[in-house]
Amino acid sequence: MRSTDDDKTLNLSGAWRGVFSYPKRFDSVSFSATLAEKDSWLTGTTQEPRSQREERGLTITASLQGRRVGTSVTWLKLYDHAPHLHSVHYAGVVSNDGDEIHGRWEIPGIWSGAFLMIREGGAGVALARGTTAVV
């Protein structure tokens, strides 16, 4: 476990690649994120391809706001355009080296699933661990 002094030096700012999964019949979705952390508060944006229905191939953008406490993170993702006006709650854990975040996402009462994010430049770590779905 990371010490309190190490937590103060951890910063999640930067570019990330990720994947989130649905609980049932839909394929996993890859996404990119740009995070900015200041005083443990997180802001950022995400981009993901739309893979369902008539929107297939379009890029969906969203903004996020949240907080990091030690190695725990939570944020709320808000999509920028209809028909994706729902919010998505994320809760996760940052790896000891600060290059991975994994956890769960939820649209309250509707959907939930797992997610994994790897800091760009941290892909070598993921490959060494056998986590190739994001790369």
Are the beta carbons of 26 and 48 closer than 8 angstroms? no
Per-residue confidence of the chain (135 residues) as pLDDT tens digits? Answer: 444 444 668 999 999 999 999 887 788 889 999 999 999 999 999 999 876 666 667 888 999 999 999 999 999 999 887 666 678 999 999 999 999 999 999 998 888 999 999 999 875 444 444 444 443
Q: Identify the bridge partners of residue 64 per DSSP, sorted by sequence position.
A: 44, 77
Q: Alpha-carbon distance 84 to 92, whole Å?
A: 22
Q: What is the pLDDT of residue 75?
A: 98
Are the beta carbons of 82 and 62 closer than 8 angstroms? no
Q: Alpha-carbon distance 23 to 97, whole Å?
A: 29
Return the structure tokens found at 57.
């191939």
Q: What is the pLDDT of residue 53?
A: 63
Q: What is the pLDDT of residue 129?
A: 47
Q: What's the pTM?
A: 0.80
| Residue given tokens 């209809």 in the structure block | 82
Q: Please name which of 40, 58, 37 lies closest in space to residue 48, comparing C-alpha atoms.
A: 58
Q: What is the pLDDT of residue 22?
A: 85
CATH placement of domain 4-129: 2.40.128.120
